[in-house]
Chains A and B, each alone.
Chain A
Amino acid sequence: MMEAFLQRIASRLGRDVRTSVERPQWKHAPQQTVFQGYSEDELLDVLKNQCTRIHTTLIETNSAELHDTVEHVIHAHGGGPIIIANDERYEQVGLSSFLKREDVYVWDATRGRHNIEAAERANIGITWSDITLAESGTVVLLNNQNQGRTISFLPTTYVALIPKSTIVPRMTQAARLIREKMARGERVPSCINFITGPSNSADIEMNLVVGVHGPVKATYIVIIDR
């Protein structure tokens, strides 16, 4: 079935089926020069500027003040319930006490569908950004069994924790990083999210409505010494 399908394509193209193709060196590469040579601070400025255009609040903080900042953001969005990934980075930045809050649910793969119900009930979902794209204001999530997909989609408010060192110019660098992981034999995550602000739609008379199926609000917390 596949053979006949591919054979038909090949014969329309006037040749035999190809079993190997060299990926060409493209003649143009405009994506490589966007924000080329920008320092971390300059990239952070680009990110900050972009956030004003995607209905997203960006807050800068450092490791020492991170706990207070997170508490403040939670409070500002009406408190819990909160759902977060089971992520070692919380401990690394000294947020262990935060994990013990009564209204915080930590994703636990052994509890199966219960996690999704917790996400559906949650007011706030929090995840760490693995790669952050300055140009578009995007956080990249390499999800896994300790970080369910629904954490970033079912709660009303989405919060991303962004170590400053994860900021790269644009999606180009993220694509390359993922390919490098593949080349090292790492498994591509079953779900990679590129999230840029809250959910929205302009389907009714081209009026922008922020908050449709996914989160209604989004906040990015950038940790400048990480």
Chain B
Amino acid sequence: MAMKINMGEFHERVEKGIHNTFMRGAVAGAQERLRTRRLEAAEELGNWEEWRALGEEIRQHTLENLDYYLMQLSENVKKRGGHVFFAQTAEEANDYICRVVASKQAKKIVKSKSMVTEEIHMNAALEKLGCEVIETDLGEYILQVDDHDPPSHIVAPALHKNKEQIRDVFQEKLAYTKTEKPEELALHARHMLRHEYMTADVGITGCNFAIAESGSITLVTNEGNADLVTALPKTQITVMGMERIVPTFEEMEVLVSLLTRSAVGQKLTSYITVLTGPRDEGEVDGPEEFHLVIVDNGRSDILGTAFQPVLQCIRCAACVNVCPVYRHIGGHSYGSIYSGPIGAVLSPLLGGYDDYKELPYASTLCAACTEACPVKIPLHELLLKHRQTIVEREGKAPISEKLAMKAFGLGAASSLLYKLGSKVAPTAVHPFTVNDRISKGPGPLKAWTDIREFPAPEKERFRDWLKQRGNE
């Protein structure tokens, strides 16, 4: 699956999302839970703003000196017997990964959850080579078994599916015979995947944070799947976006604390694993060979621009969990594996405006995302910046904002027209009004009332009321 998920045009995707009642309920529930847990975790610390300031400071410093820290990382990985490959593009990354896999004559690959491997479309490249690539994160596994259904949330990829749907998929594809209880479904996945770990030739992971000073990579999970992926197969390949790096263990520690609290409200997740090189001499488990693939794929184009702060992102999805727009349209509407506010900023940068020009408009600019971000990325300001760029580039906004503003401008500029318009409004919409609400609006109101009600205009205008009051 590449970064782009092909599900029709933006409006069609939104249309589909908005009418998916289960998904909307699930998303709202998940947002509520994750948001509350994050706030509790932050409150417990008491000085969350200071933590955020430190997170921002560390991320900014690292980006400002990214070339240095990547060089240090590369040297230290090599010192420990690992191989490092710098990939400018997705193709270069996939070519290298395929070469390593082919040289091992590997057939079976187990993988722990990684956004960057999705972004570069790695699984497809490996499958073309004749390999079986098995996702081991429970959410990713469910999606893979269901004919590669795209993820809809950065942290909880199968959020849009209910347990009955998962049961049906398991029954159809995995000879599952039990109920829709999550415990039973998870146990079945455990049994299926245990066998895969034990027999896989290569393990592939993403990377939450690389540590430059020690040449290590850090993996954050709750399931423990990344640990089995890296303990059992003979070859390990780790793929990282080039910005996912910190200077030392001490900065890693701070960012992991920010990540787990912001993503799921946990002080730490069940497993934080720091791996350095392949297995040491005399060790029995862990890989014999370790390859680190460092991916640019459009990231360097963001450096040195107004959008540089987006590279501070640690993929916690806190912004996704507070976004009122994501709440209503769901992850698939974004047409990208990166959804929510971070996706609306990042997808146009990595995937281009042609495919993603609507996303910066999928926002109310309420700034809840900016406030939630643990490393203080000014997300709503970057969304606004995108809109400016798009308008400059296209001479118009992709959403009919211009038309609406023009109509308002015309109506509001002439006091006579405004008076007339606001006066006739209640009469004009009267046939559509039930109990002071409009639920099936005419003309331009239709797009709004398809998904929610619109309050009917007050029968008495403010200006009439004020005038009347002045006379009393």
Contact = CB atoms under 8 A, between A and B. Distances in A.
A18 B54 CA distance: 23
Interface string A155-179: 0000000000000001110111011
A155 to B, nearest CB: 12
A145 B249 contact: no
Contact of B30 (A14, A115, A206): A206
Contact of A27 (B29, B57, B69, B74): B57
Interface string A192-206: 111111111111111
A148 B67 contact: no
Contacts of A195: 270-271
Given A136-B268, A171-B253, A196-B268, A212 B273 contact: no
A182 B214 contact: yes
Interface residues of A, number: 85
B53 A150 contact: no
B139 interface: yes
A204 B284 contact: no
Interface in B168-218: 182-183, 185-187, 189-190, 193-194, 197-198, 213-214, 216
Contacts of B256: 171
A2 B71 contact: yes
Given A2-B86, A194-B273, A150 B231 contact: yes
B51 A30 contact: yes
B166 A197 contact: no
B348 interface: no
A29 B267 contact: no
Nearest to B180: A204
B286 interface: yes
Classify chain B's interface size. Answer: 35 or more
B186 A116 contact: no
B129 interface: no
Contacts of B450: none
A24 interface: yes
B228 A213 contact: yes
A207 interface: yes
Given A9-B67, A199-B270, A188 B253 contact: no
Given A5-B88, A206-B30, A179 B248 contact: yes
Interface of B: 26, 29-30, 33, 45, 47, 50-51, 53-54, 57-58, 61, 64-71, 74, 80, 84-86, 88, 136-139, 142, 156-159, 162-163, 166, 182-183, 185-187, 189-190, 193-194, 197-198, 213-214, 216, 222-225, 227-228, 230-232, 242, 247-250, 252-254, 256-257, 264, 266-286, 294, 296, 300-301, 303-304
Interface of A: 1-2, 4-10, 12-14, 17-21, 23-24, 26-31, 34, 50, 54, 107, 109, 111-113, 115-116, 120, 133, 135-138, 143-145, 148-150, 153-154, 170-172, 174-176, 178-179, 182, 187-207, 209, 211-215
